Structure formats: C-alpha cells, structure tokens
Structure 1
Amino acid sequence: MESMNESLGIIAVMTAPMAYSQEVDFCKNNSNINVALGLHPQLIDERFNEITLILDKIQNVKYIGEVGLDFNNQYIESEEKQIEVFTNDVRECSRLGNKVLSIHSVKSSQYVLKILKSYDTLRNNTCILHWFTGNENQLRQAIELGCHFSINSKMIATVGGKRVIQKIP
C-alpha cells in the first residue's frame, strides 16, 4: 500500500518568475512537490518586466500559477497590465496544452472567465480557480467551462465562501 507521503502532491505556486528556478532547485529532491511558474497579479506593476521570463519558460513547465487578475481597489491601477499578462499566459497555455493553471480572480471573475473562454483554455488544460469569490452566475459559468476550485479555511468561515463550496460539484 502506498504511504501517505507517496500519495500526497503539492503545487508550490510562485508569485514572481524570478523565483521559479531557485524554487525548482530547492524542491528537486522531493518528487511530490511541483513548482508552478507564475506572476501574481498583485505584483504586476513592480514586476511587469518579468513577463518575458514566463513566456520563455512556459513551454517546459506543466504548472502555471499563481496567475490571474485582482481588481481590488489597491491593484485596480494595474488593470490593463494585469489583463495583458494574464491574456498572454492563457493564450500560450491554450496553444501548448497540458498545463495546470492556478488562477487568482479577486473582483475580476467575469474577466477571467471571458479570457479562459475566448482561448478555449479548458479544452486542453486544467484550470483551478483559487479562492473563487464570483457571483452565482459566474460560478455556474466556471462550472460549465470545466473549472476546478480550491477551497481554504477562510472560505469555510464566510457566507459567500460557504455558498461557493455548496454549489461546486
């Protein structure tokens, strides 16, 4: 029988592409840890120049994250850059296929879903919506597209989080 350690898998999402190679090296002796290449939308303004690092490495990486959009008041000024980076990530993942994307979508679910749909991303990739907070219509759309959802302890503690958890398959 397989031990707990052999059946447990971890996706270590990156917030900045420059950290990716160092993290891969750090985790190289543990086959249960899969390092994801990503640029967190909250860091787009200060790390926009790292977009080329993602596009250079994406073909050789299975896990992509954390990527997405964050239109919270604190990050709305970088909305256009966020959309550009996320669209580039999604377009390339859709072209390549066989990727697992961990997607951030704070106050931006409708845009995330529109971009995923426009590139038919779920045709050949797995998309996990991290801590989904969209409305019921957006949740239905995400389910229909074939998205997966991550659940965390903070979701269990909120009315909105419980609503999402109860409705996901």
Structure 2
Amino acid sequence: MLLSAGVASLIMDKFGRKFLLISSGLLTGVVLLIMAIYFHLKNLDFDVIHVSWIPAVCVMAYAATFKLGLGLVPIVITAEIFPTTVKAIGMTLADTVYVIAAAISINIYYILYRNFGIHVPFYMFTACSFLMAIFTAIWIPETKGKTLDEIQLMLKGKKAVAAKESSEPNISARY
C-alpha cells in the first residue's frame, strides 16, 4: 500500500484524478471478482488446492490497486473542491461519511457471509467497484490543473471557460 500510495502521488498530476479512480475501480473489481469466483468454487466443493495461493495474491493486489486510486484520490479531490473557508468542515464531514461507510460495509460483509457464504460479499463488492468506475466516468469531473473557481463552476455544470470570460472586463461597455 505504501508503494502504491507513492506511485499514485507521482502519477496523479500526469494522468489525472479521474483516470486513477476509474483504473482503481476496474482493477479492484477484477481482483474482487477473482476472489469471489475462487470462494464460490471452493464452496461448491471444487478442488482448489492447486490455486490456494489466489486469496493471498488477491489481497495484496487489492490493497495495491485500492491505494493507487480509491484510497488516495478521494482525499485529494475533497481537498480541492472545498473553498478555504469551509475546507476543514467539508473534509471532516467527508471523513465522517467515509468512516460510517466503512463500518456499514464491514457489517454488510459479515451479514452476507453468515447468511449466504463467503463468496456473496465479494460478488457484491465487485459490482460496487465496477459501478463506481462507471459513476466516476460519467459524473466525476477531472480536477487536475484546475483552480478552485474552475472546479466550482464544473460542479455547478458550467464550463470553466465561462469563468475566464466573465472575469475579463467588458471593454465595449465602456465606450
């Protein structure tokens, strides 16, 4: 995870936040799908002894691919979208939502595991990862290289160019 965080911080400004979020969502989805299939086959009494290394590799791959985007980029985007006057409150609220969501996901994992088998929560979290990648592709704006004003306009659904045009004085209005 440390290596992934270092790599992510180095390439975030080169490839952009959106790219890392989508890539991380897709890669974590693939890793979770592999885990789900492994545990599903194991629960169906298939002989998985020759591939018993899959869960260990998947856990490491998940940690790396999660930290590459999903674990780091939301913190950066959260810091970028709030004006200085409300940044502390906004980031505190975002962290609170993160902690609550983490607690809920742990409980969902446990409930699904106990009632349906260990593979079911992995299938569900696989779907969540892929849906998050789609959500990011459609609705999350790229904040790389943008000013706070440009980001605020994008969040309101306006083009960033409009901010530049509206900030320039109207010379024809003087004459």
Using the size of structure 2 for normalisation, the TM-score is 0.22
More helix by share: 2
Q: Which has the higher contact order (CA 8 A, sep 6+)?
A: 2
Larger Rg over CA atoms: 2
More strand by share: 1
